[in-house]
Amino acid sequence: MLNRSSFLPAWDTPEGIRRSSDLFVAAYGSRPAGVWAAPGRVNLIGEHLDYNGGFSLPFALPHRTFVALAPRADEQVRLVSDLAPDAVWSGTLDDLGPGRASGWVAYAGGPAWVLRDEGVPVRGFDAAVASCVPLGAGLSSSAALETAVALALDEVFNQGALGADDAGRARLAAACVRAENEVAGAATGGMDQAVALRSTLGHALLIDSSDASVTQVPLDLEAADLTILVIDTRAPHALADGQYASRRATCERAAARLGVRTLCQVEDPEAALGRLEDRLEIARARHVFTEQGRVRRVVEAVSAGRLREIGPDLDASHASLAGDYEVSCPELDVAVEAARRAGALGARMTGGGFGGSAIALVERAKASAVRDAVAASFAAHGFAAPEFLVASASAPGGRVG
């Protein structure tokens, strides 16, 4: 029997509303106009393919970021986070543009600057942020924050026109990608924002980044008596330090050399690898080509309810990310190997890498044993104790209060 109390819990909606609203009142002395929330995410398969024009298969976590927000009649913006409840950031919408905002403020305020730049009639606002999405864990706490803010701004300034349907949510997701790229300075793709806004409860989201189209894929782990254990290695994880951007730049050079816009447009991967000469370009492209094939196999198996068959592709994905893409780290490798030894059907790092989290596909009855084995292995290696949560395919972002 799975003992969920021993894993990092997600807040229920009333708790998230209470935490963010109480922070808002404490900071500004008034009540918010509403509370909006958006989820973190786990990517089941398809890593580093979003900016290469390929497929990914993430799903929304039950762990969410809550944003209490109220509009203002002027251009002033005030932001506060539960990470530093006594430190209110204050500025204008112009102060949230590229090269001006930094740190968490860039993620919280960047969407406002982008939406205004794209013609949405955004003005000043006050906001308070509270979150149970683990920070620095590769579970997209940044996109959860961006999309929760974007949903709030759309509703209070734009009558919720964009959040009302999938086409509008795709536009909101694209605006949040701009915020992350241009304001926060992280050269990420669009997978995280798409899953936060366009998921469906009980489904993974197959994203085709070549055209931003999505397909809902039923993900019924409970029916298969399985769970996905998320292992937060607590190893430092950052996407704005140049390593992520360098991988993206190498792939773009390889694509240009092959005469395509993105690597996933290559029709004959084996021939394409033979045309490349640079060692890094060959390795990065090989990961993209093989990962694209793994996504297709996993989607086919998951769609048919054959979840127990996807373990080998999870394992192969980690090997490719560690070897060809070089985005793993000792903590991630230890987590994956320890989980497999303890009975996981498959395991791999998830997210951008360079730290962060791993996932393990585990029989529900073995989840606690796998957790204990990973924790023991971390202790034996002298690593900081990892944290664990149980992932389930949850709902997208929206207004909650």
The three-state secondary structure class of 52 is helix
pLDDT at 307: 96
Q: Which residues are catalytic?
A: 192
Contact 78, 96 (CB under 8 A): no
Among 215, 307, 303, 232, residue whose Cα is nearest residue 63: 232
State the number of CA atoms in the 13 A half-sphere of 86 facing the CB: 0
Structure-derived torsion over alpha carbons of residues 151, 194, 197, 3, reported in degrees to the nearest 10: -130
**Residues of the chain scoring pLDDT < 70:** 1-6, 237-241
DSSP-derived 3-state class of residue 143: helix
Burial 103-120 (b: 16+ CB within 10 A, else e): ebbbbbbbbbbbbbbeeb
- At 6, give phi and psi (nearest 5°): -90, 5
Token look-up 């086919």 returns: 300
Which pLDDT value is given to residue 243?
83
Q: Are the C-beta atoms of 132 and 83 separated by less than 8 Å?
A: no
- What pTM was estimated for this model as a whole? 0.92
Complete domains list, the chain, with CATH: 4-217 (3.30.230.10), 226-391 (3.30.70.890)
Closest to 144 (Cα-Cα) out of 162, 132, 154, 160: 132
**Res 324: pLDDT:** 98
User: Which pLDDT belongs to residue 242?
Assistant: 78
